[in-house]
A and B are shown apart, each in its own frame.
Chain A
Amino acid sequence: MHTSPVSTKVVATDRVMAPPLLQVRNLTTSFATERGRLIAADGVSFDISAGETVAIVGESGSGKSVTALSIMRLIPSPPGRIEAGEVLFEGRDLLKLDDAGIRAIRGNKIAMIFQEPMSSLNPALPVGLQVAEPINLHRGASWAKALELAKELLGRVRIPDAASRLAAYPHQFSGGMRQRVMIAMALACQPRLIIADEPTTALDVTVQAQILDLLKELTRETGSSLLLITHDLGVVARYADRVAVMYAGCIVETAPARALYRDPRHPYTLGLLASVPRLDSDVSHRLMPIEGQPPDLALLPKGCAFSARCRHVIHSCRVARPPLVEAEPRHWKACFNDVRDHTSAS
């Protein structure tokens, strides 16, 4: 069983002592497949405080997107099912709300930005209407007033000549501009939390930097929190206050970003950091790959899911699942070993 990474005695924020904005507790989501019921998110627990940027980093199949979608209750069911857990947002459990209740939160107090803006935008509607819609829906503003606000929002996400772009259709925008429209929509109702699932993976690097900087700047201005789902350790390092690393459905390590990069404690995190080429790494050495293949959720080993690829594996790892324990204040890891990277300790 997992210990919660943020127990009551440690409040995961340096800013206020108020309860966190979002508390995810033991979230477990499964999918029915031909190969049986697979646990895609397995007892996931973490907090997000007001104004904080938390990143969930992991590879495909790690459960990071499933976690994000579960929070928003956007898991397609069937085949998906939220099996257990709590998602406390401003003290209320989102998993217990009825459909009307969750719809009142989605796109309002919690907004979401997806990887592919084209699939989230309606191709047949002018973007102005799409940005204005949530304002009209959730805030009860008249359409005229909502459109006025939409124009303002498009300006705030730096879409040039926003007034004349209100009537344009999504296909008339480039990929980067579409993602700006998505951000404008997300901001429309002044959300407390924005969940961004790989928001820039489909974009070129120079545009990725523009979009993420904009997102960071706007969340700072509005004081909203940001949950950033990504596979890119560089993006996490640049933008996140706190990080959770996921592997095979579980959070294996979570810590403030600096602590995690300076002193990674889980062998998977260590392995990832050593295997990813950096612009400033030493090129005279070979990269240090993580051996083996990504985990297959249908064929997970008993015990620690990473044990098959881990170079520090001991007997216990193959028998029992290591719980998430606090190795340092606010730095949690799910590993029986005391593994540290001695080469990079500075």
Chain B
Amino acid sequence: MTSVITPAPHNAVARSLGNGSAAHDEILRVEDLKVHFPLMKGVVIQRQVGTVKAVDGVSFAIQRGETLGLVGESGCGKSTMGLAVLRMLEPTAGRVLFEGRDVTRLDKDRMRPIRRRMQMVYQDPYGSLDPRMTVREIVGEPLRVHGMARDRDAYRGRVEALLIMVGMLPDMAERYPHEFSGGQRQRIGIARALALEPSLVVCDEPVSALDVSIQAQVVNLFIELQERLGLTYIFIAHNLAVVRHISNRVAVMYLGRIVEIAGRDELYRAPLHPYTEALLAAIPVADPDVEARRPRAIIKGEIGSALKPPSGCRFHPRCPKVMERCKQVEPLLSNYSAGRAVACHLYSAPA
């Protein structure tokens, strides 16, 4: 497999740096990452009848302080990739370099200090908080587990500081998750993720379960925390409009592969891959006048199965610009211009 040259960081990355970090302060590099799940059949004698290639050769890099948006439809592998980066799922192949170090082969003990530096915010603020724990216990648990609080006062002080940081009141610490609305629960989840002072936070659909009037509050909180703490985000979401607001760069996934990665403005202004184009065209804009003018390019079909991806380009059965070659040869993600790569035969030199 040809190794993919990762696009250079977009200039807008500087937005949240501000601390004089070098331009090439790479926090995470993912190389040809694969996560395959065996599909077993049989009760007594199990045999493997197939392989679900949830993530199938993905490469990218992220600069410190940057937000990489990861978009795609359900089944594209974006959440699996987030979990594999944090090693909450074991990758089948490939490497994940966090702050220059390959974490894919570290054992538990050596992984522990690194895990502190990489945290996750989940989609479901209902399911991800233990209903029997108080907010103090939920937010403080990572501090206890990692022995981060010297004494009781330090522990309480730290939890309260975290709550204030996410826009909650310290006296909410004694309450239980069910006493809060969805937006507030997500704030609690964010406080917990920040307890160990991570540098990388993987956010998996962190606002999609929230009411629309609350989503903006939480998106703004993510942006503020990034500016204050210099956080790096992988922001996984299916809502391309939300991703556009928070990301410096965006990667579009389809059936286990990145099909396009580019700076935010380029990707939204002039998408290259027909799938990116179709995704953007599918999303209605909240303005009837704009909608009346927009060209409607609705693609047919639905995302296939990662168990049996189509031959050649995985998008070819749905692609409005499909060519003969697309059915046989899988296009590789290759550089198109500075900071931009696309996996599509439309942009590669004819064979």
Residues of chain A lying within 8 A (CB to CB) of residue B212: 59, 231-233, 272, 275-276
Residues of chain A lying within 8 A (CB to CB) of residue B181: 293-294
Inter-subunit contact A293/B183 (CB<8 Å): yes
Inter-subunit contact B298/A209 (CB<8 Å): yes
Which A-chain residue is minimally distant from B213 (CB atoms)? Answer: A290
Please tell me if A236 contacts chain B, counting CB pairs below 8 Å: yes
Within 8 Å by CB of B220, from A59, A208, A233, A289, lies A289
**Listed residue (A277, A280, A291) with the most chain B CB atoms within 10 angstroms of its CB:** A277
CA distance A176 to B300 in the complex (A): 11
CA distance A321 to B347 in the complex (A): 60
Inter-subunit contact B211/A232 (CB<8 Å): no
CA distance A65 to B219 in the complex (A): 27
Inter-subunit contact A174/B214 (CB<8 Å): no
Which B-chain residue is minimally distant from A205 (CB atoms)? Answer: B282
Residues of chain A lying within 8 A (CB to CB) of residue B288: 237-238, 257-258, 261
Residues of chain B lying within 8 A (CB to CB) of residue A234: 283-286
Please tell me if A17 contacts chain B, counting CB pairs below 8 Å: no
Please tell me if A273 contacts chain B, counting CB pairs below 8 Å: yes
Inter-subunit contact A176/B302 (CB<8 Å): yes
Inter-subunit contact B73/A206 (CB<8 Å): yes
Q: How large is the interface on A (under 10, 10 to 19, 20 to 34, 35 or more residues)?
A: 35 or more
Which B-chain residue is minimally distant from A158 (CB atoms)? Answer: B300
Which B-chain residue is minimally distant from A62 (CB atoms)? Answer: B211
Residues of chain A lying within 8 A (CB to CB) of residue B155: none
Inter-subunit contact A233/B286 (CB<8 Å): yes
Given contacts A278-B285, A280-B285, whether A289 and B213 have CB atoms under 8 Å apart is yes
Residues of chain B lying within 8 A (CB to CB) of residue A232: 212, 284
Please count the residue pairs between chain A and chain B whose beta carbons lie under 8 angstroms apart in the complex. Answer: 135
Interface of A (DSSP majority class): helix
Which B-chain residue is minimally distant from A274 (CB atoms)? Answer: B216
CA distance A304 to B172 in the complex (A): 27
Inter-subunit contact B217/A208 (CB<8 Å): no
Residues of chain B lying within 8 A (CB to CB) of residue A209: 281-282, 284, 298
Please tell me if A279 contacts chain B, counting CB pairs below 8 Å: yes
CA distance A234 to B290 in the complex (A): 10
Given contacts A59-B211, A278-B241, A279-B240, whether A206 and B220 have CB atoms under 8 Å apart is no
Q: How large is the interface on B (under 10, 10 to 19, 20 to 34, 35 or more residues)?
A: 35 or more
- Residues facing A in B29-59 (CB within 8 A) are none
Q: Separation in Å of the B49 CB from the closest CB of chain A?
A: 18
Interface string of A290-304 (1 = CB under 8 A from B): 110110000000000
Within 8 Å by CB of B287, from A205, A237, A286, A290, lies A237
Interface string of A214-249 (1 = CB under 8 A from B): 000000000000000001111111110000000000
CA distance A239 to B268 in the complex (A): 23
Within 8 Å by CB of B216, from A176, A235, A261, A275, lies A275
Please tell me if B303 contacts chain A, counting CB pairs below 8 Å: yes
Residues of chain A lying within 8 A (CB to CB) of residue B92: none
12 new A-B contacts, CB < 8 A, other than A289-B215, A291-B217, are A204-B74, A206-B318, A234-B286, A238-B284, A257-B288, A275-B215, A279-B241, A280-B287, A281-B245, A287-B219, A289-B213, A293-B214
Residues on A close to B: CB < 8 A? 59-60, 174-177, 204-210, 213, 231-239, 257-258, 261-262, 271-273, 275-281, 283, 286-291, 293-294
Listed A/B pairs (30) with beta-carbon separation below 8 Å: A59-B213, A177-B302, A204-B74, A204-B238, A205-B279, A207-B73, A207-B302, A208-B282, A210-B298, A213-B296, A233-B286, A234-B283, A234-B284, A235-B284, A238-B284, A238-B285, A238-B288, A261-B286, A261-B287, A261-B289, A262-B289, A275-B212, A276-B215, A276-B241, A277-B244, A277-B245, A278-B285, A293-B184, A294-B182, A294-B214
